[in-house]
A and B are shown apart, each in its own frame.
Chain A
Amino acid sequence: RKEVEQDPGPFNVPEGATVAFNCTYSNSASQSFFWYRQDCRKEPKLLMSVYSSGNEDGRFTAQLNRASQYISLLIRDSKLSDSATYLCVVNKGGTALIFGKGTTLSVSS
């Protein structure tokens, strides 16, 4: 199993849709989990950290399932501005981070 795996997409959805991204990770010792957002030809930026109990930030909800080593990101009421690549990021024991290849989202009007 790859260290961090994501469905590359692209996910093409209309405005207002709900879309979910999944990510699996291989290192059971991983302790910190994140979703970063990367716009085309730009640097990655933190979207949200992912906590064991799950967490929500506006239209975005992140879930963590440690038993299945699985992370998800749910985006409700998609906006055109949500079009980007979403990177699943997991720490590799210690503080080193492993980045997934990213899932591309395209929201159309």
Chain B
Amino acid sequence: NAGVTQTPKFQVLKTGQSMTLQCAQDMNHNSMYWYRQDPGMGLRLIYYSASEGTTDKGEVPNGYNVSRLNKREFSLRLESAAPSQTSVYFCASTRTGGIGETQYFGPGTRLLVL
């Protein structure tokens, strides 16, 4: 099992460019999440998907959109990148999204917006 995979690992964008971060899990988990991590900050939830076909906003959703393509895949799209979106992005999944469940994280995507 690969667990949670993310592509790309690194990306440099110019302000205004768009891109999609891909995430996939092979653990048959129902719930998936996107976080960003900035220096000196805790991980902050951008969007989550409790189950296939549903998505909800987290703490910092502005400037992002998501798609739960199927049970395995959950993508994050930046339509018009801004320097404030320079960050490390982590995707995570849990079995059912229930309280107390372990979150399994992907290796992260490091994004630099110039």
Contact = CB atoms under 8 A, between A and B. Distances in A.
Interface of A: 4, 31-32, 34, 42-46, 49, 87, 91, 94-102
Interface of B: 31, 35, 40-45, 48, 50, 58, 90, 94, 97-103, 105-108
Contacts of A95: 31, 50, 94, 97-99, 101
B4 to A, nearest CB: 8
B96 to A, nearest CB: 9
Contacts, number: 49
Contact of B108 (A43, A96, A100): A43
A4 B43 CA distance: 11
Contacts of B40: 101
Given A44-B105, A45-B105, A91 B99 contact: yes
A96 B43 contact: no
Given A95-B97, A95-B98, A4 B42 contact: yes
Contacts of B107: 42-43
A101 B41 contact: yes
A97 B45 CA distance: 8
Nearest to B35: A99
Nearest to A51: B100
Contact of B58 (A46, A87, A96): A96
Contact of A43 (B41, B45, B58, B90): B90
B42 A32 contact: no
B3 to A, nearest CB: 10
Given A44-B90, A87-B42, A97-B45, A31 B100 contact: yes
A101 B102 contact: no
Most A-side CB within 10 Å, residue of B43, B94, B97: B43
Contacts of A43: 90, 105-108
B34 to A, nearest CB: 13
The 3 A-B pairs at the shortest CB distance, nearest first, are namely: A43-B105, A99-B42, A32-B100
